[in-house]
Structure 1
Amino acid sequence: MTEYMTSSDPQSDSADTTAQRPVEDRFGFARFCARCRTRMEPFMQSRFGTILNTAFDIARNLWNRRIRFSYAFYAVVFTIVTVSATLLLQWSVYAEPTYADPNAVDTSTKAWNSIAGQLTKFVVQVWLFQQRNALLNFLVLGLIYLVLVFLLNRFWIATAVFSSVMLVFAVANHIKVALRSEPIIPSDLSFLSGGNTGEIWSFIPQDDLALVHRSIKGLVLLVVICVALQILDRRTCVIPFRWKHPFRNPKVIAGNCTRLVTVIVSAATLFSFTWNLGIPGSWSYEWATSMGDAAQLWDSLGDARANGPAMNFLRLAHAKTMDKPDGYNKAAMQELAQRYSTAAKQTNTERTNNFTDSTVIMILSESFSDPTRVPGITFTEDPMPNIRALKTTTTSGLMLSPGYGGGTANIEYQALTGLSMGLFDDSMQSPYQELVPHQKNPYTFNQIWNAKYGEQGSIAFHPYVKNMYLRDSDYKKFGFSHFYTLDSNPPIAHQERIDNAPVTSDAAAYQSVVDALNANGAKHQFVQLVTMQNHMPYNDWYANNQFKEADTSAISGDEKTSVDTYAKGVSLTDQATADFLAQLDQMSKPVTVIFYGDHLPGIYQTAASDENNTLSLHETDYFIWSNQASAGNKKINAGTASYASSNFFMTMASEHMDTKISAYLEMLRQVHDEIPALGRLVLGTHGFGDDSATVYLDAEGNPVRYKDLSDKAKQLITDYELIQYDMTAGKGYLDDTDFFTVASK
């Protein structure tokens, strides 16, 4: 070691050495190492020391000779991992079929219906039918993978993260599909963010525990392999990048800029694709459609199986609710709340009853409408004589339906919330799937009874599967204490069918409601019933169908078969409804029924081919009726009741029942008085499509253009938009007021 001593004085040695020592050895590290080597010399010259030194040399040589994986190798791994993720996610939504008599099914059918067979069909349809859904899912998942690669800039770490997320998602998806016949949707992530992560394990069925354990072991092995490869890969960064001295030289600058550009472009592309996927006409919507994507917003599991879980998840991640109205702020909403509260108090001075002193049954009668009102359809026998006669004695009329042939949940959503599809953005196609799952406390009218009677204040029935339109999870948010379906626990009580019909009859559905009312004694509830009897298809299910001979329409073939079958179903509904009301009339407690058909069946090809029939194909029948024990039963005059849309049913029911109302119902009452019906008409398969338009009807059922509405009507629409925005996409300012509180006597 070089000496820098200038004096032999010990004090000088201690005081000056540090100052005079070279900068690189100011802390004495070099001298320390030299002393260690001196003391270790005997050990290193020993046999064991020699072996240890050799081992270190070998390790150092191996480390210096690490593999520098090529970008081509990365591309191969990237492709294999993405293909595996695509197939794994698709596997997660399939289930092995069961057969009543396995011996009656041939081997080929069993093979194609198995999970492996369904997975094979999903892939080979790319070549056989030019349906490129598998390729679309591959590209979308690849984009997610690519974002991780560029963001982390470590290929093997990104691979570990991507593969782990895909594996966990697939296993969780598989379990949820098995439990609820429903795939994971974006709103499910709130379960984790809400601090319920620890409860997940308790939800896993015993039969799936082995799968979970195998997955955990595979996940650990996968992460270990990826970490080992990252250590062994001399190319530590996918794109050369330097945090320190980023402008050191042109090469460093180029690498840093490339890294930033790739991250920004890939992330922006993924964000834009997801943000616009649910918006008809957007670039991602159009591109996905060109690849074979066809959204099934009425059935999330069907959508995941047909279009892929990745597409199903991303399309529900964002849907534009509605534009922020001009003037929306807290002060404006408080002013609206005060104004309509004052008006409600005035209305309530003329009302004598309470909503919650009666049981209200809201019946969505699947596809129910008068077939004789369709242009070109005639019968020699009336398919609905009882309901036609009833409509002359109670509040009734025609309902403007936003759907034709489908879209049931949209009409139901309007009836339960008072909100209008016509005020939402056109890209909002299914609130039950695209809006409600993202809301914390959506308001629905059944909550009026919940406020009075607790969680038992409202129940719901639907003689079909519970996951359709995500009703099961949505109804829980709405506050229904029980939702009785074919697959609920316990299931709906009555499931009888008529002749060869594939679904539960209306008579059976009504009987389940009657049993529930009787079991509830003198207590009151809000009861929601969605029937299934008249759901498509209409394949000549019924024996002794007199409407085959009674049909004098100028139609033939499959259209005639469907119309005749449907007419018989309407006749059966007509009689079952009359019997149901007769039973309610014998009850000693007040009961009011709100009955409406959701949309026309999509079977009138001849009539639908004429654009002049568009409006008539969007009009169904409704009535509001109260039994003899009811104090109300005030028939609303035809001037305001002849036409309606489902969002006005509850305020109309309050007038019919002569009950006190909330400021919210007062607003709806005023809008209905000026604009009897409004809605977005969608004439297309399943009620969803791009050709949407908001329609306003006057008291005679004539369409009115917005610019021709009165100033008062336009102001009411403005108020309605502000309130709907606040309830769905805004800040919820009205929640801090008494806007939704129903007055009582």
Structure 2
Amino acid sequence: MSHQENFKKWSPWLIMIGFVIESMVLLIVIQALQSGNIKSALYWVVLHKKIYLFSTIILSIIAWGLTSLINRLWISNSLFIDLMIIFGFVNSQKMTFRQEPLLPSDLTMVTNANELSSMISLSSIIITVIVCLLVIVINFWGLRRLQLRKKTFKIPTRIAGVIITTLMIFSFFRINHTNGIVAKTFAKLGIQSYTWSLEDSANNNGPVIAFINSIDITVMDEPAGYSQARMQTIAKRYQKVANTINQHRTQSNINKQTLIYILSESFSDPTRVPNLKVSADPIPKIRKIKQTTTSGVMLSSGYGGGTANMEYMVDTSLTLNFFSKTLTTPFTQLVPNQKKAYAITDLFNTKNAIHTNTGTFYRRIDVYKKFGFQTFRNTDSKGKLKLHYTKKIQNSEYIGDDASYNNALWQVKQKQGGQFISLATMQNHMPFTNKYYHNDYTITGVAGKYNNAEITNYTEGLHLTDNSTKAFIDKLDKMKKPITVLWYGDHLASLYNGDSMATYNVQLHEPDYFIYSNKYARQHGYGTKKIKANANVVGSNALSALVLEQMHQKVSPYYALITKVLKELPAMASDSQNSTDALLVNQNNQQTYLRNLTASQRKIYEDYKLVQYDLTAGKSYLGRNNFMTLN
């Protein structure tokens, strides 16, 4: 037998060995991209040998399956390696900016590749593209030299590869079923779920396993005692609470009022950031507004990202920390699949949404349909739904707050009566480089030692928002109709020294908010000036209850429950600092814990969890009666 014939005889086995070696190397590369250096990646390999070898087997089987389908080694191998490189690169970027790994739910954002790429340095993208092209060239040339460019596997090997790969992939959908074979196998290998922290899951299990672990999504674990009878009891309880609250509320028809929710992208007061000094106050006008109206800080479940999660909690009054840790983004993973998604929009006959960016981001088009919005204007909109104001702010690629507010004002004028308007802005979105003509602020302090220039640029953007917001409020005050605005920042920008995160967990999850009723509303009994009680620190899930109180609006049993959550429970959010509990913060801005809740507080907490389960993952018993609507 000639050398060439002998090589061809053994080539399938050599190819399989090659898949294993490639997978081992790729895993180290992916881990190095995530950790920032090869030394840390090798240390992870040593520390997690079983997970590393298991991950190698997974990737090798995927490579085998791809080759079995395509049966052209240079094509399948190029595709496999390039996909892993892109996976590693995107994962590293998300870990940098969001402190969480790439997840299956993020794949729905692939249609927004242009917008996402604008947030990443051009040089990094170019390097990644060059590496991917080199992989294709090397595979084509190298495998040609080895005479392996033609058909690779015989039919039995191809069938086995497809079947085994398919079975393996389907098994991933049973990973989080604790009593299943797959879950037990993962447990024996030392793979932990790290339900309290996706970042810890990626750092310990590796990004590949962290990704796989998030395929099997559980919306929410069923709380103890869930039943139709229990939900009927809760409905009756909070109907009584609503009756008591409504004795002191004067407004019964919310459709006489206009309510505007404004999500101010990445807005937070930099002067409150620990160990950071700003040369001058960048937001004096918003600060004055906050001093004279209902205001405080909103406890956010995100840092550096997660905009849609805060929007979800504000709109629905549900809380992210009750959901399974595998459900990280309700907008993409939950709402589009719900038969009925309940939100503040249900209280209004007319509701319109505006977002000064692409509409497909976070599947907002699908989500807003579920929320009942009649129109959604965004940068993708055309014809009658086209945005009316699209001027970008100075050198920025994003539409400025001036234009965003003008779009909202246009919508206010379209209806004589009341309506609900949702506006999500983009001006202060990352990246924070060279966006403005000049920067008037100087930043000092250890919190800004790594990103001083970006923080300076970001602060200039806040100052521009400050001017735009005051001008917007002044225009509302001139309108002869009752208008109330909930204005809030969704999260802090991921600019500050990460060493401070664990120490200042609470402060770094507190963007600003205020609720403002215009002059007409205050003069005609549709709004108040300032609510002081329980307004200092508010969870995003409880803001709507505070808004309804500001508007003197009678409440349904559901919003009676949320009012109890607002008044009697600490503000709550998901905790990013290695805890299975919620991040709870009292009105003194001090972190507290579930174990510190009184019996009456615990009762409200458990009722709230049962209601959330019923409306999202349960039988929706409460959706069949008047629990959600004003009787």
Tell whether the structures are fold-level matches, with TM greater than 0.5.
yes
* Aligned counterparts of 1:287 and 1:537: Cα–Cα separation in 2: 24
- 1:492 equivalenced with 2:387 (yes/no): yes
Displacement of 1:136: 6.2
2:221 corresponds to which residue?
323
Change (3 A) 1:716 1:557: closer
Alignment check: 8 A CA contact 1:444 1:478 kept? yes
For 2:403, the aligned partner's letter is A
- 1:638 equivalenced with 2:536 (yes/no): no
Alignment check: 8 A CA contact 2:447 2:500 kept? no
Change (3 A) 1:142 1:674: farther
Q: What is the CA deviation profile of residues 438-459 of structure 1, one whole-angstrom value per residue up to 9, with x for unaligned ones? A: 211111111211xxx3xxx111
* Aligned counterparts of 1:268 and 1:135: Cα–Cα separation in 2: 14
Displacement of 1:135: 9.8
Matching of residues 292-307 of structure 1 within 5 Å: 293=208
1:340 corresponds to which residue?
238
Change (3 A) 1:482 1:180: farther
Q: What is the CA deviation profile of residues 135-177 of structure 1, one whole-angstrom value per residue up to 9, with x for unaligned ones? A: 9678459679999xxxxxxxxxxxxxxxxxxxxxxxxxxxxx9
Displacement of 1:281: 3.7
Change (3 A) 1:701 1:290: closer
* Aligned counterparts of 1:712 and 1:636: Cα–Cα separation in 2: 28
Displacement of 1:706: 0.9
* Aligned counterparts of 1:409 and 1:598: Cα–Cα separation in 2: 9
Larger Rg: 1
Deviates more, 1:617-626 or 1:638-647: 638-647
Tell me the C-alpha RMSD between the 2 structures.
Answer: 4.1
2:409 corresponds to which residue?
514
- 1:664 equivalenced with 2:562 (yes/no): no
Change (3 A) 1:338 1:556: closer
Displacement of 1:283: 10
Change (3 A) 1:725 1:143: farther
1:653 to 530, 543, 547: 547
Q: Secondary structure at the match of 1:321?
A: coil
For 1:349, the aligned partner's letter is Q
- 1:569 equivalenced with 2:461 (yes/no): yes
* Aligned counterparts of 2:275 and 2:386: Cα–Cα separation in 1: 41
Displacement of 1:632: 2.6
- 1:476 equivalenced with 2:476 (yes/no): no
- 1:427 equivalenced with 2:321 (yes/no): no
Q: What is the CA deviation profile of residues 319-366 of structure 1, one whole-angstrom value per residue up to 9, with x for unaligned ones? A: 122211111001111111111112212211221113221110001111
For 1:661, the aligned partner's letter is V
Change (3 A) 1:145 1:414: farther
For 2:392, the aligned partner's letter is R
1:585 to 465, 477, 480: 477
Q: What is the CA deviation profile of residues 610-629 of structure 1, one whole-angstrom value per residue up to 9, with x for unaligned ones? A: 63211110111111111111
2:111 corresponds to which residue?
181
- The TM-score normalised by the length of structure 1 is 0.60
Higher relative contact order, chain-length normalized (CA < 8 Å, sep 6+): 2
Displacement of 1:740: 0.4
Displacement of 1:272: 3.6
Alignment check: 8 A CA contact 1:321 1:428 kept? yes
Alignment check: 8 A CA contact 1:146 1:266 kept? no
Alignment check: 8 A CA contact 1:361 1:591 kept? yes
2:502 to 611, 614, 624: 611
Q: Secondary structure at the match of 2:278?
A: coil
- 1:545 equivalenced with 2:433 (yes/no): no
Q: Secondary structure at the match of 2:459?
A: helix
Displacement of 1:393: 1.3
* Aligned counterparts of 1:283 and 1:617: Cα–Cα separation in 2: 22
Change (3 A) 1:438 1:276: farther
- 1:531 equivalenced with 2:428 (yes/no): no
For 1:617, the aligned partner's letter is L
What is the identity percentage for the equivalent residue pairs of Structure 1 and Structure 2? 33
- The TM-score normalised by the length of structure 2 is 0.70
Change (3 A) 1:294 1:537: farther
Displacement of 1:275: 3.4
Q: What is the CA deviation profile of residues 636-668 of structure 1, one whole-angstrom value per residue up to 9, with x for unaligned ones? A: 543311110111111111111111111000001
Displacement of 1:708: 1.1
Q: Secondary structure at the match of 1:638?
A: coil
For 2:394, the aligned partner's letter is D
For 1:383, the aligned partner's letter is P
Alignment check: 8 A CA contact 1:446 1:526 kept? yes
For 1:736, the aligned partner's letter is R
Q: Secondary structure at the match of 1:388?
A: helix
Q: Secondary structure at the match of 2:479?
A: coil
* Aligned counterparts of 1:730 and 1:143: Cα–Cα separation in 2: 38
Alignment check: 8 A CA contact 1:144 1:270 kept? no
* Aligned counterparts of 1:391 and 1:610: Cα–Cα separation in 2: 26
1:366 to 265, 274, 285: 265
Alignment check: 8 A CA contact 1:682 1:693 kept? no
Q: Secondary structure at the match of 1:569?
A: helix
For 2:395, the aligned partner's letter is N
For 2:111, the aligned partner's letter is S
* Aligned counterparts of 1:555 and 1:377: Cα–Cα separation in 2: 5
2:591 corresponds to which residue?
703
Displacement of 1:692: 5.9
Displacement of 1:696: 1.6
Q: What is the CA deviation profile of residues 38-61 of structure 1, one whole-angstrom value per residue up to 9, with x for unaligned ones? A: xxxxxxxxxxxxxxxxxxxxxxxx
Alignment check: 8 A CA contact 1:126 1:135 kept? no
Alignment check: 8 A CA contact 1:486 1:492 kept? yes
Change (3 A) 1:715 1:517: same
Displacement of 1:529: 0.9
Instruction: List runs of 5+ in structure 1 lacking aligned partners.
Output: 1-71, 84-121, 148-176, 184-232, 240-261, 296-306, 684-689
* Aligned counterparts of 1:347 and 1:141: Cα–Cα separation in 2: 62
* Aligned counterparts of 1:425 and 1:180: Cα–Cα separation in 2: 24
Displacement of 1:134: 12
Alignment check: 8 A CA contact 1:593 1:624 kept? yes
Change (3 A) 1:178 1:434: closer
* Aligned counterparts of 2:540 and 2:463: Cα–Cα separation in 1: 23
Matching of residues 206-355 of structure 1 within 5 Å: 269-276=168-175, 281-282=192-193, 293=208, 318-353=216-251, 354-355=253-254
* Aligned counterparts of 1:615 and 1:509: Cα–Cα separation in 2: 30
Q: What is the CA deviation profile of residues 535-572 of structure 1, one whole-angstrom value per residue up to 9, with x for unaligned ones? A: 11211321232113xx3445666521111111111111
1:439 corresponds to which residue?
338
Change (3 A) 1:145 1:652: farther
Displacement of 1:499: 2.0
Alignment check: 8 A CA contact 2:238 2:561 kept? yes
Change (3 A) 1:440 1:344: same
Q: Secondary structure at the match of 2:519?
A: coil
Displacement of 1:271: 4.0
Displacement of 1:474: 1.3
